[in-house]
Amino acid sequence: DIQMTQSPSTLSASAGDSVTITCRANQTIDPWLAWYQQKPGKAPNLLIKRASILDDGVPTRFSGSGSGTEFTLTISSLQPDDFATYYCQQYDNYYPGTFGQGTKVELK
């Protein structure tokens, strides 16, 4: 099974900060990596697919990068609306996807 490990589990930051979340896979998954944002009581919202492609309507302050087994999500200039939990997900055509355990971005 492909395992996904996110770090950190919690990230304290202020509005305006730039933050980076890391996701590591236990085997190569390039480029089948997605990032989601989830707010309490809501379904996840797809931000990035194929490691670096922003989904429709996602602000450009979100960016994704990486390859092989290590990937990052960067939020430049955090906005109040960005305080949420973020998940990475590996996926491939028809192969079971796996989510990371999540990173909560909270107000410092």
Partner 1 sequence: EVQLVQSGAEVKKPGESLKISCEASGYPFTAYWIGWVRQTPEKGLEWMGIIYPDDSDTRYSPSFQGQVTISVDRSIRTAYLQWSSLKASDTAIYYCARARSVYDSPGVFAYWGQGTLVTVSS
Residue ranges that bind partner 1, judged by CB under 8 A: 1, 32, 34, 36, 43-46, 49, 55-56, 87, 89, 91-102
Minimum separation from the CB atom of position 108 to partner 1 (A) = 23
What is d(CA 92, CA 98) in angstroms, rounded to the nearest whole number? 10
Minimum separation from the CB atom of position 104 to partner 1 (A) = 11
Specify the residue, 18 or 101, whose C-beta has the smaller distance to partner 1: 101
Minimum separation from the CB atom of position 37 to partner 1 (A) = 12
Q: What are phi and psi of 80, to 5 degrees?
A: -55, -35
What is d(CA 78, CA 108) in angstroms, rounded to the nearest whole number? 12
What spatial distance separates the first Cα and last Cα of the chain, rounded to whole Å?
A: 36
